[in-house]
Amino acid sequence: MSSFYALIIGAGSTIAQAAIAQFEQNPDCLGVFAVSRSLPHEDSNSAKVEKKVRWFICDNSESSIKDVVQQINQHSPNITKVLICNGVLHGTQQNNETMMPEKKLEDVNAEQLEAVFHANTVVPMLWLSKLVPLVKGKEATQVALFSARVGSISDNKSGGWYSYRASKAALNMLIQNSAIEYARRAKNVKLIAFHPGTTDTPLSKPFQRSVPKDKLFTPEFVASQLLAIMDSVEMNAIEGHAIEGHAIEGNRNAAFLDWNNQAINW
């Protein structure tokens, strides 16, 4: 593989941290641009250099995203791996701590819908809309956006989790839609809606009790699966699913894949 740079957005994510560590170990990776709402260690600088990793603080507003993209573009490196990891499922100390996925219609409320859509749909889409200058090179480039199997409309059998499911379904549509335009403007980019599987991170913590041990993945395992998928994914391949004899073809430039490289119905 030729040498490359990686860009990780939502770099504070536990899975993102594992991916950064793996990029650091990879001699072909010349550098990692890591973007987060806060630095991983206490530090008052807005950008710092740590081994191969250069950190940027970004509040994910449009102006802040533009600013970071411009700063990275000045280095004009060959970014061919992008991970967009942002997502929330329940409240944390930083947001509404009592927020939990909705179990029934009566739990649905505007505040939660808006907060979850903002982190899971709006933020990744803002990034996708501003990335073109960084990824429009000649090299095969993969942009992985962290989605979730529960965002599959055709796979929804158990209901609940209204805001999370809908925010990931909306993200998937935005990925499909963007892939059509990317095909014209950044031809060598494949967009991957990625389902990591249940992974041991703060996001899944409250829901881990019912998960069998062998189905709860470590962030390191999931990161290595994702990076391998990004290396091997077929560019411009049609992700087809045969249902009752009818092939349902997806977009050539977008794929919805799980941690085991299996296609998920959109």
Ligand X SMILES: NC(=O)c1ccc[n+]([C@@H]2O[C@H](COP(=O)([O-])OP(=O)(O)OC[C@H]3O[C@@H](n4cnc5c(N)ncnc54)[C@H](OP(=O)(O)O)[C@@H]3O)[C@@H](O)[C@H]2O)c1
Residues that bind ligand X (CB under 6 A): 10-16, 36-37, 60, 85-88, 119, 123, 146, 148, 195-196, 198-199, 201-204
Beta partners for residue 5, in sequence order: 31, 79
Considering the complex, state which of residue 72 and residue 88 has its C-beta at the smaller distance from ligand X: 88
Give every strand in the sheet of 189-195, ordered side by side. 47-50, 53-57, 29-36, 4-9, 79-84, 141-146, 189-195, 254-258
| Chain residue whose CB lies nearest ligand X | 87
Residue 236 CB, nearest approach to ligand X (Å): 26
Instruction: To the nearest 10°, report the CA torsion of 115, 120, 126, 131.
Output: 160
Residue 192 CB, nearest approach to ligand X (Å): 13
Among 206, 259, 196, which residue's Cα sits nearest to residue 90? Answer: 206
Residue 139 CB, nearest approach to ligand X (Å): 25
With contact defined as beta carbons under 8 Å apart, do 88 and 118 qualify?
no
In the chain, where does DSSP find H-type helix? 14-25, 62-75, 110-117, 123-130, 132-135, 162-185, 219-232
Considering the complex, state which of residue 36 and residue 172 has its C-beta at the smaller distance from ligand X: 36
Considering the complex, state which of residue 183 and residue 221 has its C-beta at the smaller distance from ligand X: 221
H/E element, 190? strand 189-195
Considering the complex, state which of residue 20 and residue 188 has its C-beta at the smaller distance from ligand X: 20
Considering the complex, state which of residue 88 and residue 134 has its C-beta at the smaller distance from ligand X: 88
Residue 119 CB, nearest approach to ligand X (Å): 4
| Packing angle, helices 219-232 and 14-25, rounded to 10 | 60
Residue 185 CB, nearest approach to ligand X (Å): 25
Residue 247 CB, nearest approach to ligand X (Å): 27
Considering the complex, state which of residue 235 and residue 263 has its C-beta at the smaller distance from ligand X: 263
| Chain mean position to CA 34 | 13
